[in-house]
Amino acid sequence: MTDVTPDLSQLYRPVFAADLLIDALDKNPDKPAVNIIGTGAMTAREMRDQVSRYSQALRSRGLGQGSQASVLSLNRPEVLFTMAANQVNATRSTPLHPMGSVDDQAYVLGDCGAETLIFDPDNFTDRARQLAEMVPGLKLLALGPSDIADDLDSLAAGFEPQPLVAPLVDAEDLAGISYSGGTTGKPKGIMSSYRGGMAMTTIQMAEWEWPDEVRFLVCTPLSHAGAAFFTPTLLKGGSLTVLPGFDPETFMRTVEEHRITATMLVPTMLYVLLDHPKFDQYDLSSLQTVFYGAAATSPTRLAEAVRRMGPIFFQFYGQAECPMAITALRKADHDPDNLERLASCGRPVPWVHVALLDDDGNEVPHGEPGEICVQGPLVMKGYLGKPEQTAEAFAHGWLHTGDVARADDEGFLYIVDRKKDMIITGGFNVYPREVEDVISTHPAVSAVAVIGVPDERWGESVKAVVVPRPGHEVDPDELIALVKEHKGSVQAPKSVDLVDAIPLSALGKPDKKTLRARYWGDAGRQVN
């Protein structure tokens, strides 16, 4: 008797990132998808063909489903094509921090098992050469002509476009690995799933406030939050204009010339724009939505921005372990006359469970501070190769963000402190332990504590408080240069204070709460 049982293995297959990307490109073939400054607009059809060529080129170099690649580049359109091709190929991708040190980048490449480094030859040829020497077996591909690697763009040109087909993956398959600093001194690999990526895009599409016609300007790193706007923009039938980085006058000129309707800024960028002497000389009236996040924002500066630019601001709050979309502060919540509300990170979106918990995993009484903890499909799979740190992050069955907040009667959350010592400066995370480990190698340093202090431009800046060894002199500039060499410029202290002693807790550990109080005074929140 013939078996007529139907194959139901794919009956309930969810839609994932590649499905959405392909759908967006297929539905709007003649609309601009990428605006390449100096060249012109690339339609969705042309982008679809380019992604097909890139995906074939990458597969010809062995990067297929389940492979591990890494990208080191400033913003450029080729990064978008590579990102899309990796989605179509189901290749795991790990971006490298463009401002990171060579040691940290080499560690990340080895830890994630990167097979190939795809790099920007205009800015990172020397670094790619160094990394290839430091990481055994690492292959190189360049996003343009290079004397040390094949040009991926030229390689892709040798292939004929084929229809894009989404890969068959499971929700819990490993989609990518991003890296965050670690309190043990080494970055942690944050494992994201296809389930998590789909949840983030769903929340962005459902809860975020987009212009009717999206012309999005990418000026934050595609290695970080900038990449999260790629798929939603295309799903909205919009286009992306990519700047290599953030320069305030270039930003304003681009908004004016290309009638940009949406962008993302970190608070530091917003402050620089507001303070620019030519701010009022450019027409920024086309902007309908400015997404912002990645760091706490000064309510006073935010009120100024609303008054000068209009009610166009939308805040998101998340972290790499639960990306971008835990809470939202909508445009209507940005009342420039209500500075307290402008200090909020918004209300939890309805797609995740959010609770404020104490150290025992219990919800705190209403109005009392507690750690923001999250459950739901947005949460990471865990930390790569770090079961103990994963268990700590998932204690009591929740993801612990490390941010302490209180809730008001309307459900708005206000972050008042960081449970962890992490510093957010200019939108980038700095983990004090990593900086302390470098400074403590200096022979003239007896003890060191690194904290974040309020900074008008950066939100928070890195300060090292150092106790010199008896009979030794410490040159602060020398310590700053030491950290810059080993960890990169973001982690380098902006200032170094020399003291006789660092305050200690009852357990004999550095009392950073007391230390920070010297610099924060009676501020209502210990984040800035």
Q: Which CATH architecture has domain 423-520?
A: 2-Layer Sandwich (3.30)
* β-strand pairing of 382-383 with 370-375: unpaired
Q: Using the structure block, give the residue that is written with the tokens 């990306």.
A: 323
27-167 CATH fold: Rossmann fold (3.40.50)
- What is the arrangement of strands in the sheet containing 262-265, beginning at the earlier edge strand? 40-43, 32-36, 239-242, 215-218, 262-265, 289-292, 313-319, 322-329, 347-348
- Site of tokens 């009852």: 506
Question: For residue 507, is pLDDT > 60?
Answer: no
Quick one: pLDDT at residue 25? 96
Cβ atoms of 185 and 434 within 8 Å: the answer is yes
40-44, 222-226, 418-422, 507-511: range with lowest mean pLDDT = 507-511
Q: For the chain, give the longest Cα–Cα distance.
A: 93
**What are 146-191's pLDDT values in tens digits?**
999 999 999 999 999 999 999 999 999 999 999 975 444 578 999 9
Check residue 5 and give its pLDDT: 81
**CA of 281: how far to CAs of 256, 274, 277, in Å?**
10, 12, 9
pLDDT higher than 60, residue 256: yes
Query: What local confidence, expressed as pLDDT, does residue 528 receive?
Result: 61
The Cβ of residue 471 has, within 10 Å, a number of other Cβ atoms equal to 6
pLDDT band at 59 (very low <50, low <70, confident <90, very high): very high
Q: Does residue 321 surpass a pLDDT of 70? A: yes
Q: Which long-range contacts (CB under 8 A, 24 or more apart) does 135-142 make?
A: 135/106, 135/109, 135/110, 138/109, 138/114, 139/61, 139/115, 140/116, 141/58, 141/61, 141/116, 141/117, 142/118
Provide the 3-class DSSP secondary structure of residue 504. Answer: strand
The answer to whether residues 217 and 239 touch, using CB atoms and an 8 Å cutoff, is: no
CA 291 to chain centre: 13
What are the backbone dihedrals phi and psi of residue 169, each rounded to the nearest 5 degrees, phi first? -130, 160
- Res 1: pLDDT: 58
Alpha carbons 456 and 453: distance in angstroms, whole number: 10
Q: For the chain, give every residue range classified as CATH 3.40.50.980.
A: 27-167
Q: Are 469 and 434 in contact (CB under 8 A)?
A: no
Q: Using the structure block, give the residue that is written with the tokens 């004397």.
A: 147
- Per the structure block, which two tokens stand in for 437? 């480990």
Q: What is the pLDDT of residue 61?
A: 96
pTM: predicted TM-score of the whole model, two decimal places:
0.84
Q: Which pLDDT band, with edges at 50, 70 and 90, does 18 fall under?
A: very high
Burial 256-291 (b: 16+ CB within 10 A, else e): eebebbbbbbbbbbbbbbeeeeebeebebeebbbbb
Report helix angle 44-60 to 77-89, nearest 10: 60
Q: Are 377 and 198 in contact (CB under 8 A)?
A: yes
Q: What are phi and psi of 59, to 5 degrees?
A: -65, -35
Q: Are 242 and 34 in contact (CB under 8 A)?
A: yes
SS3 content of the chain, % helix, strand, coil (to 5): 35, 25, 40
Q: What is the C-alpha separation between 382 and 193, in angstroms, rounded? A: 10
Alpha-carbon gap, residue 113 to 130, rounded angstroms: 17
Strand 423-425, strand 413-418: pairing: unpaired
The whole-number average pLDDT for the span 2-23 is 88
Sign, Cα dihedral of 139, 157, 127, 463: negative
> Residue 257 is inside which H or E element, if any?
helix 248-258
Tens of pLDDT, residue by residue over 351-399, are: 999 999 999 999 999 988 899 999 999 999 999 999 999 999 999 999 9
Residue 238's nearest CA partner among 222, 217, 219, 215 is: 215
Render pLDDT for 218-255 as a digit per residue (tens, 0 to 9).
998 888 888 999 999 999 999 999 999 899 999 999 99
Residues in CB range of 212: below 8 A, 6 or more apart: none
Q: Please compute the mean of the pLDDT values over residues 491-514 and round it to a whole number.
A: 79
Cβ–Cβ < 8 Å for 254, 298: no
Among the ranges given (57-71, 281-295, 447-461), the one the predictor scored with the smallest mean pLDDT: 447-461
Q: Where are the alpha helices (DSSP H) in 371-457?
A: 387-393, 432-439
Q: How far apart are CA 300 and CA 180, in angstroms?
A: 30
Residues 6+ apart with CB under 8 A from 249: 276, 278
Q: What stretch(es) of the chain map to CATH 3.30.300.30?
A: 423-520
Q: 436: closest CA among 425, 427, 455, 423?
A: 423
Q: Which helix H or strand E contains 118, and what residues bound it?
A: strand 116-119
Tokens encoding 145 = 């002509």
